Amino acid sequence: MKPKSSILCCIFVSQAFALDTSLVRGSGPLSPEEELKGFSLPPGFQAQLFAAEPQIDKPINIAFDERGRLWVTSTHEYPYAAVRERWSDAEGSRVADSRDAIIILEDTDKDGRADKRTVFADGLNIPTGVLPYKTGCIAWSIPNIWFFDDTDGDGICDKRTILFGPLGWEKDVHGNNSSFRLAPDGWIYATHGFSNTSHFKVRPENLNGAKPADPGTELTLNSGNVYRFLPDGSRIELFSAGQVNPFGLAWDDLGNLYSADCHSAPIYQLIPGAVYPSFGKPDDGLGFGPVMMHHSHSSTGICGITYLNSRTWGDDWQDRILIGNVVTSRINCDVVSFKGSTPIAREEQDFLSSADPWFRPVDLRIGPDRALYVADFYNKVIGHYEVPLEHPGRDRERGRIWRIVKNDGMPGEGSAAPDPVAQLRFAARSGPLAPEQLDTVRRWLGGKDPFEKRAAVEALIRPVSVDWLPDLLSAMALAPEEDESLRHQLRIVIRKHLELPDAFAKLPRGPMSSGLEAELLRIARSVQTEGAARYLLAELRSHPQPASELAASLNRLALLIPAGELADLAKEQFPLDFAAQADLLAAIVDGIQQRGDLPAADITGWASAIATKLLESQQPQSAAAWNAIADPASPAIPWAIQTRPLQDGGDLQVISSLDGGGPEPESRTGTLRSAAFSAPPAFTFVLCGHAGPLGEEAHTRTFVRLVDETTGEELRRAAPPRNDAATRIRWELGEHAGKKVRFELTDGDSGSAYAWLAAGGFEPALIDVASFSSGSGHAVRLSRLALLLKYAAPAGLRDRLAAYLPAPPPAPPSAITPEMRAAADQAIQSHSAAFNAAAADKPRGSELFTTHCAACHAIGGKGALVGPQLDGIGNRGPARLFEDILDPNRNVDAHFRLHLIARKDGSTFAGLERGRLGQVLVCVDAAGQEHRIPASDIISNEETGMSLMPPSFQALPAKDLQDLVAWLLEK
């Protein structure tokens, strides 16, 4: 059945209850009968209690079997997983003394109340995702997805078989596998929750002729995703990537799959193969899948979803979606309309509101009687991260299941024939299409019905032949701009075909529209083959792009094409625009790092040239009142102006690192520096924000500080007050009054929550919030260049870029004794006094550099870059050179401090950090040998404050030292 407009609008009047979004309710528990009295529903609906404690504890997922029985995953253990010492075996088959169970509830006398209770499987560990199947059920119970089977027919599980596992659960027990739904294609669709990482592998006994690591036998998921697997555990694959913490799945009549999610958007229609926003994660090069709503229902806690059609409650309810809102204690309602095949959700009056704020609707299912069944995780506290797990208000005893029935105007019973669109969808998802089905695909691709066209495109997601490319490109050329879902599905399927061998050689020749050409370039840069890269590079040479578009392409090309070729293209197309070159360089470097490499000398040389030009331009750093210092690990610059409440009343504008624009605002990190000003005798400001989740020890990565502009010394520091409301801070600066200082905000927390700070209200008004502009691109570019060149820039340029680097940590206590320092001082003074450049043998100095220094330092492109590059080192003068050579531990640049890294294998590495590539730390030892150390192998990483350079030059003959310094002074 194609979507249709409702005959009547879903408008009704409900009792007005104040919207409560607090996570810990102030009231006490009510009995089920008292809670029922507080429900407000549309006219013609009635709520009934189907089950309650002590029949169940806390329900999480519910599902019906073919006999109309309701299966419930019930937990008492949550929010703590049972410790391994309570497991009966290594697989966690049972948990000692656990009340967690899968319970079957039946209404045998048909009065709307469960009167028969069967504990089907007991001794479980926070079970979720129950799906009745054959003679048992498939469900999650830490740490596996199980088939719980009743082999002897007594109605109780007597065999527990692992389908997949062990899977991730250790980081977050409210982000486990759940929402198991069996589809007409024979696959089970499921959600994977927040934070955990799971490594799925088909078990050897289930391979059915496949080999380990074959497609469909392994899958790794981190945080939110939707996946599917065959009920016998023989295959598993990703359906759509992303979302933060999806919980709940439902289909419409056309075979579209919808999910409920937390923290991104309440509802998504999931496009097969699409990527959706998830904290800190990028898209796949095609952009994120389209959203169908821009409202949040005043909540980030959405659980359970059901899609209604006219056969459920009549035409008034066609294309309505109901979702459980555990934060506001309501069941929200949205009506879905379509632009072409793209769904648009419009917020309607809440379907159910409750006067009891303990009502927590976590799962919704339409029963075989067409009543809505609601799993109520009845609780004073909701929120896993936001409220400490040990909060005494968390209830573990009470749970209810409600049955909501429509008393009049029900449509006649009977099921409609499957829609042809859904039939084609599920046929394509189940395996290869027959010739007559492929004929339908070709006919629908060229047709006008948007639902048929989109189903035909999706049916080709497993490529048949590159011969389909002309049809797919033609469909893209004709696809309306407003049908975002059709266009995104086309991008995904076209990319799949372009990944076939020789696909780019078979692209249609001749002119194409600018819109189709732009789409093809966008798709091509997401194809990770050399053929795609060469095609894209040729197109970029013949069709120059704006810098922003070119940057996106160069970022992808850097994974496959030598970086020097890409740098040449950037310089050819923007020969005098060094700001554009800086942005293009950043895109290329990011691509180099994604492929697991660090920029080579040709790229750092280009970076040095750009940095020099930008420093010489007419936009010096001091021109900006505030300068944002980029963090290379952050997806974006975080800073924005916001209005925040004051703890003593009122509100105030502040500069905040919680920029609401774009995805994952709290995960962004960076430093913001004010322009220099004269320190007053006292300085006050307001500060708000957090340093990690409440209930956990505060970290020290997020702070504000006052810094001496001349020496870089930290004069004062303050941590955020762990409060959304701003508190006033006062610094007494009498001993520093008159010094040139700067104010800095640093957000070093990339977490997804409680990871921001904000400051404002500066008095005296030597700096102010109003002068802040998030568009200080000049400083951002220089800060990125400074980070890239901190090991590779010539000495003079490195000194000029130092102001754009993030604040280094304070140096650890020095191991140099006063006696050692005095001896070094004497040697430095003696050699400086005796120095005579005219009498020195400079060619001999060059030889000495090659022998003693070139293994770690480079000049003029010769030598290694273990320590700092020394081009321009002569500008420091002879006294400083003698100091650097004879006492290398005296003035160690923060980026060249020796690190001692203890590893889990018992070894210790001594050397310098070079950077990070994902979860790998790149280091170099004293011999110039590169080492890549996985973060998971590191026990500790101690920064010593010492130099990798040995102090052995004190033993060098005086004449040799004079010759070396004389030669260096000319460099």
- CATH number of this structure's domain 625-775, picked from the four choices 1.10.3470, 2.60.120, 1.10.1740, 3.40.50: 2.60.120
Q: How far apart are CA 360 and CA 668, in angstroms?
A: 32
Phi, psi values for residue 61, rounded to 5° = -120, 150
Sign of CA dihedral 836, 837, 843, 848: positive
pLDDT of residue 746: 93
Q: How far apart are CA 9 and CA 61, in angstroms?
A: 31
Cα-based torsion angle of the residue sequence 554, 555, 560, 561 in order, rounded to the nearest 10 degrees: 30
Q: Which pLDDT tens digit goes with each residue over 938-968?
A: 888 887 777 777 766 667 788 888 888 888 8
733-739 contact pairs (CB < 8 A, 24+): 733/679, 733/680, 733/681, 733/682, 733/683, 733/706, 734/681, 734/682, 736/679, 736/708, 737/678, 737/679, 737/680, 737/681, 738/678, 738/679, 739/678, 739/679, 739/708, 739/709, 739/710, 739/715
Q: How far apart are CA 754 and CA 689, in angstroms?
A: 7
Q: Which residues have a Cβ under 8 Å from the Cβ of 817 and sit 6 or more positions away?
A: none
Q: How far apart are CA 457 and CA 472, in angstroms?
A: 7
Per-residue confidence band for 435, with pLDDT thresholds at 50, 70 and 90? very high
The first and second tokens of residue 147, run together, are: 């088939």
- 718, 705 in Cβ contact below 8 A? yes
Q: Which residues have a Cβ under 8 Å from the Cβ of 165 and sit 6 or more positions away?
A: 91, 143, 144, 145, 146
pLDDT of 891 strictly over 90 = no
Residues 174-198: what's their mean pLDDT? 94
Greater pLDDT, 661 or 365: 365
Query: Domain 32-406 - what CATH class?
Result: mainly beta
- 912, 879 in Cβ contact below 8 A? no
CB atoms within 10 A of CB 151: 10
The first and second tokens of residue 308, run together, are: 């209604």
pLDDT of residue 956: 79
Sign of CA dihedral 12, 16, 18, 24: negative
pLDDT of 935 strictly over 90 = no
Crossing angle between the packed helical segments 958-968 and 842-852, to the nearest 10 degrees: 100
pLDDT of 15 strictly over 50 = no
pLDDT of residue 661: 46
- 77, 393 in Cβ contact below 8 A? no
Rg (CA), the chain: 32
pLDDT of residue 806: 67
- 948, 853 in Cβ contact below 8 A? no
- 62, 401 in Cβ contact below 8 A? yes
Q: How far apart are CA 506 and CA 498, in angstroms?
A: 9
Residues 705-728: what's their mean pLDDT? 91
Annotate 299-316 with DSSP letters as a single string: -S-EEEEEEE-HHHH-GG
Which letter does DSSP use for residue 896 in this model? G
pLDDT of 17 strictly over 80 = no
- CATH number of this structure's domain 420-605, picked from the four choices 3.10.150, 2.40.10, 1.10.3470, 1.25.10: 1.25.10
Q: Which pLDDT tens digit goes with each residue over 692-713?
A: 877 678 888 999 999 999 888 9
Per-residue confidence band for 830, with pLDDT thresholds at 50, 70 and 90? confident
Residues 630-647: what's their mean pLDDT? 78
Crossing angle between the packed helical segments 450-458 and 484-498, to the nearest 10 degrees: 30
Specify the range with the lowest mean pLDDT, choosing from 191-205, 317-331, 848-862: 848-862
pLDDT of 33 strictly over 50 = yes
Residues 7-31: what's their mean pLDDT? 64
pLDDT of residue 663: 47
Q: Which residues have a Cβ under 8 Å from the Cβ of 968 and sit 6 or more positions away?
A: 845, 849, 870, 873, 874, 881
The first and second tokens of residue 663, run together, are: 């995805």
The first and second tokens of residue 406, run together, are: 């429509």
CB atoms within 10 A of CB 591: 21
Q: Which residue's structure tokens are 């005098």?
A: 576
pLDDT of residue 622: 41
The closest alpha carbon to 879, from 836, 947, 831, belongs to: 831
CB atoms within 10 A of CB 39: 21
Sign of CA dihedral 787, 791, 796, 799: positive
Residue 78: strand pairing partners = none
pLDDT of residue 12: 41
CB atoms within 10 A of CB 624: 20
Tell me the whole-structure pTM to 2 decimals. Answer: 0.74
pLDDT of 2 strictly over 70 = no
pLDDT of residue 13: 38
The first and second tokens of residue 784, run together, are: 């990125």
Q: How far apart are CA 516 and CA 512, in angstroms?
A: 6
Per-residue confidence band for 409, with pLDDT thresholds at 50, 70 and 90? confident
Residues 316-344: what's their mean pLDDT? 96
Residue 352: strand pairing partners = 331
CATH topology of domain 818-968: SH3 type barrels. (2.30.30)
Q: How far apart are CA 676 and CA 115, in angstroms?
A: 75
Q: Give CA separation, 66 vs 55, 132, 281, in Å.
A: 22, 8, 40
Q: How far apart are CA 737 and CA 679, in angstroms?
A: 5
Q: How far apart are CA 100 and CA 77, in angstroms?
A: 7
Q: How far apart are CA 521 and CA 473, in angstroms?
A: 12
Q: Which pLDDT tens digit goes with each residue over 80-95?
A: 999 999 999 999 999 9
Q: Which pLDDT tens digit goes with each residue over 727-785?
A: 999 999 999 999 999 999 999 888 877 889 999 999 998 998 888 865 457 777 888 89
The closest alpha carbon to 117, from 147, 166, 170, 155, belongs to: 155
Measure CA of the first residue to CA of the last residue in the chain; give whole Å: 79
Q: How far apart are CA 630 and CA 583, in angstroms?
A: 13
- 231, 219 in Cβ contact below 8 A? no
Which letter does DSSP use for residue 381 in this model? B
Angle made by CA atoms 139, 141, 147, in degrees to the nearest 5: 40
Q: Give CA separation, 354 vs 177, 349, 555, 744, 945, in Å.
A: 29, 14, 51, 47, 61
The closest alpha carbon to 245, from 298, 198, 192, 323, belongs to: 192
- 933, 809 in Cβ contact below 8 A? no
- 556, 525 in Cβ contact below 8 A? yes
- Each domain of the chain, given as residue ranges in start order, spans 32-406, 420-605, 625-775, 818-968
CB atoms within 10 A of CB 109: 9
pLDDT of 36 strictly over 90 = yes
Q: How far apart are CA 794 and CA 821, in angstroms?
A: 28
Residues 502-506: what's their mean pLDDT? 86
pLDDT of 346 strictly over 60 = yes
The first and second tokens of residue 906, run together, are: 């018992």
The first and second tokens of residue 859, run together, are: 């000049």
Per-residue confidence band for 5, with pLDDT thresholds at 50, 70 and 90? very low
pLDDT of 6 strictly over 50 = no
Q: Give CA separation, 85 vs 93, 721, 892, in Å.
A: 13, 39, 50
Q: How far apart are CA 86 and CA 69, in angstroms?
A: 31
Residues 371-391: what's their mean pLDDT? 87
Average pLDDT, the chain: 88
The first and second tokens of residue 528, run together, are: 């990770």
